[in-house]
Structures are given as C-alpha cells and as structure tokens.
Amino acid sequence: MRSHVDRRTLLFALMCLIWGATWVAAKVGLASVPPVLFSGTRFLAAGGIILLWCRMRGESTAVAPAHRGRLALAMLLMVALTYPLLFWGTIHVSSGLAAVIDLSFLPVALLGFAVLAGEERFSRRKGLAIGLGALGLAVLFGPKASTPGTGSPLEAWGVGAIILSALVYAGGSVIARPLLRVYPPLVVAGVTLFWGGVVTTLAALAAEPGALAALPHRWPAMAWGAWLFLVAGGSLAAYTIYLVLVRDWGPSRAGAYCYVSPAIAVGLGVVLLGERIAVHEGVGMATMLAAAWLAVRPGREEADA
C-alpha cells in the first residue's frame, strides 16, 4: 500500500513540473499563433495519438451509449468551453491577475463541486490547504495583479470569463470521475481531448480573428517547438496523470497542482530567462508548496483505507 501511495505522489510531482513548464511554452507559441487555434490543434493531436495508442494495444475505445452523454458533457466542459473562456479573459486582464483568479479559484471550485456531488467530504485540513494556496498565490502574484489596468470596460468581463472557466473545468472534472471507474484513464483522456480539440479547432477557424491566416504550415519553428512540448508533455502526459489522480484521489486533491505549478513556472523563468525572485515571491512559493503538501497528504480516513 505504501509504494502505491508513493507512486501517485511521484506522478503528482511530475504533473506539476510539466504543467509549470507549459506556461513558458505557451508564451512562446502564442506570440505568433492565435490562442484558440493553438490550443485546439494541440488537443486534437494529443487525443488522436492517445486513441491510436489504445487501438495499437488492442484496447477498446468504444463508449457505451449510456455513458456517451456524460462523456460529451465532460469533454465540452473540460476542453471546448474552458480554454476559449480562459484565453478570451486573459486578453482583457493582466496576466498576473488572470493567474491569481484562475489558479486560486479552481481548487475551491473543485472542492465545492466534489462535495456537492458526494464525491468527497469537506475537512478542516482541506479548507486549510485551500486557504494557504490562495494566500500563497496572492503573495506571489499580488503586486503584479495590483498594477492599474487600462480602464477598458471589457476588463470586468474578462475577470468573469476567467472565473467561469474555472467553474466549468471543475464541473467537468467531477462529472468525469464516475467514467474513470468504468473506462481506463487513457481512453477517457483520448476521447475528451480529441473531440474537444475538434470542436475547439472548428470554432477557431469559424470565429477566431486571424485563425485562417495562421494555419499550422505557416508557424515559425519556435511555435512548433512549443506546440510539440504542449502536446507531448502538457496533454499526453500531464492530462492523463491528472485523470488518474482524479480517479484515485478525487478532484480537489488532484487539483492541488494549482498551488505548485505556478511556483515551478516562476523558478523556470529564473533559470531559463534570468528573472529575479523578490522576497515576497519566495514567501508565496513556499506557502503554495505547504498548501500542496496539506492537500496531497492523506487524511486519517484515507490512511486507514
């Protein structure tokens, strides 16, 4: 039992590292590719690769008719709706404020939906983890988020879109969990990513400004490199790990990556881009790591199971 718990903790650490690095990769790719098209093609490719891999292993990717509605809803929520909302909101809100809103609100939403759905029970430890995580994010990103905006009337709508994206993603995670008790995580990941990518890409080509003029064959090499990392690391590896942890740990505990990945992203900025860490940023990262430890650490009822 002990080795099994350790394995999941290592998977959690790997997921946090990958998703921390995707912030750097996304920044590089979005410099030259519209965001919805960039994310849609990424999910389409990753989902297609996963489904092909399952077929090559002789694993069925068929979904029972009784489960197709739930799976389609999870796909729409976790992929096709979340990312257009998040990216649109980020256009109208400073990046620091967007990070604080999304990454501090998502664990709260995950826990709330999980409790409402009867998937998890609330505890003081989980409440403390959420509070520490939100505090750490506020300390880390607060000074940047407090910079006066441009005064655009769309800023309030951008904030609302980011909050809504977190709610939508959390709802999709809770809806997907019962499916993970029936189907392998790879199958659920492949179906949701592929069809979510199809829907998102088609929406981008139909409505996103500049998408038709920025088809993949016109991307520069740096954008391709970032895209490949996001496909292989962010979508193939980290997303599948996330679904495994949602199945085994529950949505709110798996969502503790929201406290760790931003700290990793800041650290990679120091190493790769020569950025400096202020005292308040170091305190914020330490606080988030403490919150993640509390969230990942099994409670008494879990340890006795």
* Spatial distance between the Cα atoms of 67 and 40, rounded to a whole number of angstroms: 24
pLDDT at 174: 82
Q: From residue 129, give the alpha-carbon distance in Å to each of 12, 133, 262, 296.
A: 16, 6, 16, 9
The 3 state secondary structure assigned to 210-242 is CCHHHCHHHCCHHHHHHHHHHHHHHHHHHHHHH
Place 305 in a pLDDT band, splitting at 50, 70 and 90.
very low
Query: What's the whole-number mean pLDDT along residues 173-196?
Result: 88
Write down the pTM of the prediction. Answer: 0.73
pLDDT (tens digit, 9 = 90+) per residue, 269-283?
777 756 666 676 677
Cβ burial of 111 (10 Å; 0-12, 13-18, 19+) is: buried
| DSSP 8-state symbol, 298 | -
Q: Give domain limits for the chain.
A: 2-303
User: Is the predicted pLDDT of residue 45 greater than 80, yes or no?
Assistant: yes
Considering the chain, what is the average pLDDT of its residues? 79
Place 200 in a pLDDT band, splitting at 50, 70 and 90.
very high
pLDDT at 29: 82
pLDDT at 298: 58
